[in-house]
Structure 1
Amino acid sequence: MAGCVFCGIVAGSVPAFRVVDSPEGMAFLDTRPVFKGHLLVVPRDHHETLGDLPPAEVPAYFALVQRLALAVEAGLAAGGTFVAINNRVSQSVPHLHTHVVPRTKGDGLRGFFWPRTRYVSDDEARSYADRIAAALAD
Structure 2
Amino acid sequence: MRRARAERALTSVETGEGAGPAEVSRLWHVTLSVSGAPAPLAEVRRGLEQLAHDHPFLLTSRYAADHAEIRYWEEARDLHDAAAVALRLWGEHRSTAKLPPWEIVGLEVIDRATYHQRVAEGYGPPPASPVGVHPY
Is the TM-score greater than 0.5?
no
Between 1 and 2, higher relative CO (CA 8 Å, sep ≥ 6) is seen in 2
By percentage of residues, which structure has more helix? 1
What is the TM-score normalised by the length of structure 2? Answer: 0.33
